[in-house]
Amino acid sequence: MPNPTHPALTPEDTSEMHELYRTLHAAPELSMQEHGTAALIEERLAALDIRSFRCGGTGVVGVLANGEGPVVAFRADTDALPIREDTGLPYASTATGRLEDGTEVPVMHGCGHDTHVTALLTTAKLLARSRDAWAGTVVLLFQPGEETAAGAAAMVQDGLWDKAPRPGVVLGQHVMPGLAGTIQYASGNAMTQADSWKVTLHGRQSHGSQPQDSVDPIVLGAHLITRIQTIVSRELDPRRAAVVTVGTFHAGLKENIIPDRAEFTLNIRTFDDGVRTHVLDALRRIISAEAAASAAPEPEIEELYTFPLNYNDPQETAGVMEAMREALGDERVTEVAPLMGSEDFGHLAQAIGVPSVYWFFGGHSAETLEGEKVPMNHSPYFAPVLEPTLSTAVEAAVAAILSRLERR
């Protein structure tokens, strides 16, 4: 049963929350370009008489102070993805944006960050009107650029923790394709650290009929990509997880021309620093050795971005989940295995050496989950049901925050 001491959503709150969600969903913006979203957040915080300031470009920080007491930070990411939405929703996005290279692309909240912003703004509303029930400070972090691992670092580099009160714990949550109304969490390792590279292979161009005059970067790339798969299968202890994925491969313009270069991108996921070092070193070794075997020049490796390990402090996690079970009921809160996905959330707490807790809330109906193809995050069909998805996210956030503040 819900905890009666927690501020609760009224029917009017719920209606306004749904309208806010539809507004955000229909107006997604790409990473580090969330100008309209940031302005909307500032407007909503001002209406609640919550002081806010910009940080990290399009990031917004709200400070809800309510007397002496602990400081708790809560993060919601704000960016969307270059995806053409195909949900068929009446509020589906038709927005477009431009990538860094100027390419125009469709934009969609395909990872559900619109639910995160909606839930945190609604949580702020409930806390702001129930100040007689708690004491302390809540730092509301509306973070840009999660999808590119740029946002958390940008906020920290922009002096986030010099401008905002330093918290004792940083909290966050994410919608996932689980059952709406439920919470899932992992204690300890929650999500992997991740590295992404672009590798450029150099060869020698020639006519397709004269391969003897070429150094073929496509053949080199084929051997490389095959060999790379042996790092996890043949070099790592099977009990230590890692994922190595080649996500793109580009080479050539015409079938009868052997090109002079090829490019591919890599994504590497690990939980352990030792495993990470081993995998990255092995990649460099294989890339260099295969180039030498092909009599090709040394390839170029560009490090695109790195996500930190998302680690849930066990003691803090236990306390937060106890409060969440009290608020939502034991049957709605479940511990799960770590996810191989990644997040830049951990950087916010690691930058000042404080613990963090991060959990997941379901966004699909039972009927959707029973279907043959369940829409996952980053799918053009990803469409969380409004309820009980949003109310659960708010209830979870309120319970977690109040569990770390003084009660009156």
CATH class (in words) of the domain with range 11-191+308-407: alpha beta
Spell out the domain ranges in the chain.
11-191+308-407, 204-296
Answer whether 0.85 is exceeded by the pTM: yes
Q: HEC string of the chain?
A: CCCCCCCCCCHHHHHHHHHHHHHHHHCCCCCCCCHHHHHHHHHHHHHCCCEEEEECCCEEEEEEEECCCCEEEEEEECCCECCCCCCCCCCCCCCEEECCCCCEEECECCCCHHHHHHHHHHHHHHHHCCHHHEEEEEEEEEECCCCCCCHHHHHHHCCHHHHCCCCCEEEEEEEEEEEECCEEECCEEEEEEEEEEEEEEECECEECCCHHHCECHHHHHHHHHHHHCHHHHHHCCCCCCEEEEEEEEEECCCCCEECCEEEEEEEEEECCHHHHHHHHHHHHHHHHHHHHHCCCCCCEEEEEEEECCEEECHHHHHHHHHHHHHHHCHHHEEECCCEEEECCCHHHHHCCCCCEEEEEEEEECHHHHCCCCCCCCCCCCCCCCCCCHHHHHHHHHHHHHHCCCEEC
C-alpha of 66 from chain center: 30
169 φ, ψ (degrees, to nearest 5) = -155, 150
For the record, the structure tokens of 217 come out as 């970067």
Instruction: Output the pLDDT for position 213.
Output: 95
Instruction: Output the pLDDT for position 5.
Output: 62
Question: Is the separation of the CB atoms in 237 and 294 below 8 Å?
Answer: no
For the record, the structure tokens of 288 come out as 């260099």
Architecture of the domain delimited by 204-296: 2-Layer Sandwich (3.30)
β-strands 71-77, 134-143 pairing: parallel
∠ CA 80-83-89, nearest 5°, is 85
The sign of the CA dihedral 120, 157, 166, 312 is positive
Instruction: Output the pLDDT for position 1.
Output: 43
HSE at residue 323, side-chain half, CA atoms within 13 A, is 19
∠ CA 312-121-168, nearest 5°, is 35
Instruction: Output the pLDDT for position 408.
Output: 74
Q: Cβ contacts of residue 382 below 8 Å, gap of 6+? A: 87, 110, 111, 112, 177, 375, 376
Cα 287 to Cα 268: distance, rounded to the nearest angstrom: 15
Residues of the chain with pLDDT under 50: 1-2, 4
